Structure formats: C-alpha cells, structure tokens
C-alpha cells in the first residue's frame, strides 16, 4: 500500500483560480471580496458601491462613516499630489528660464553665419 492510495487526490479546480467559498454560505462559491474586511462573499452577500464590493456589515459601516466628515487620510493624499504637481511645474519654469538665459548669452555672431565661414576658412 502506497501513500497515494491513502491520501485522496486534490479536488480538481481551475488552475490559477483558488476555490473560494462564501463566508456565510459554505455551498456557494465566492464571487467577490469585500474591499473593507477582505472576506470572500457570494454574489448575494456583497453590495457594489462606487465600483467597490462591500459585505453587508462593512457597507452599513461605510454608510455610517460617509455621514461623517471626509477622511483626513484622503485629503492628505490629495494635497501631496497637488504639491508634487506644483513642484514639477516649478522645475519646468526654472528649467526654461535657465535655458532662456543660456540662449540669450550666446553671442549674436553665431546666428549671422559668419562663425561658420571662419571655421571653414571661406
């Protein structure tokens, strides 16, 4: 008797897609994962809200939370993005200013073509 005779073969499933069961319904396959708590739920147990899936308790908690003020975490992220945009804009302006200074500093005889005659001896 070998080990393969004792241990049953693994349940066949789709490769790459682990079989998930709804937390509440053992016999139902989970169709989505709650964004808030990360639990796997079947289609009936999740609610889609703003392109995100929530289980019933999390959705209720979110509705209660939405009534309150906006999360400071999000505001902070938004301000950081605005700061980064302003910083890159400043770099662009300074860069163009420096480029303008360099171009203005080039002697005008470079543009009238005489420098090339001098270089090639004509």
In this chain, which stretch among 11-19, 54-62, 69-77, 110-118 interacts with Zn ion, using CB under 5 A? 54-62
| Token duo for residue 59 | 């959705």
Nearer to Zn ion, 25 or 71 (CB): 25
69 burial level (CB within 10 Å; 0-12, 13-18, 19+): exposed
Find the binding residues for Zn ion in span 14-53 (CB under 5 A).
22, 24-25, 34, 36-37, 42, 45
- Reduced to 3 states (helix: H, G, I; strand: E, B; else coil), residue 26 is coil
**Smallest distance, Å, CB 46 to Zn ion?**
8
From first CA to last CA, the distance across the chain in angstroms is 100
Nearer to Zn ion, 37 or 92 (CB): 37
């Amino acid at each position: 008797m070998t080990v393969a005779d004792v241990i049953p073969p693994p349940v066949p499933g789709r490769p790459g897609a682990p079989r998930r069961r709804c937390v509440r319904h053992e016999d139902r396959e989970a169709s989505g994962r709650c964004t808030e708590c990360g639990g796997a739920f079947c289609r009936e147990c999740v609610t889609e809200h703003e392109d995100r899936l929530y289980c019933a308790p999390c959705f209720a908690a979110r509705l209660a939370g939405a009534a309150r003020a906006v999360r400071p975490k999000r505001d902070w992220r938004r301000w950081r993005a605005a700061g980064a945009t302003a910083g890159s804009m400043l770099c662009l302006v300074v860069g163009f200013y420096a480029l303008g200074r360099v171009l203005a500093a080039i002697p005008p005889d470079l543009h009238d073509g005489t420098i090339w005659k001098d270089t090639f001896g004509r």
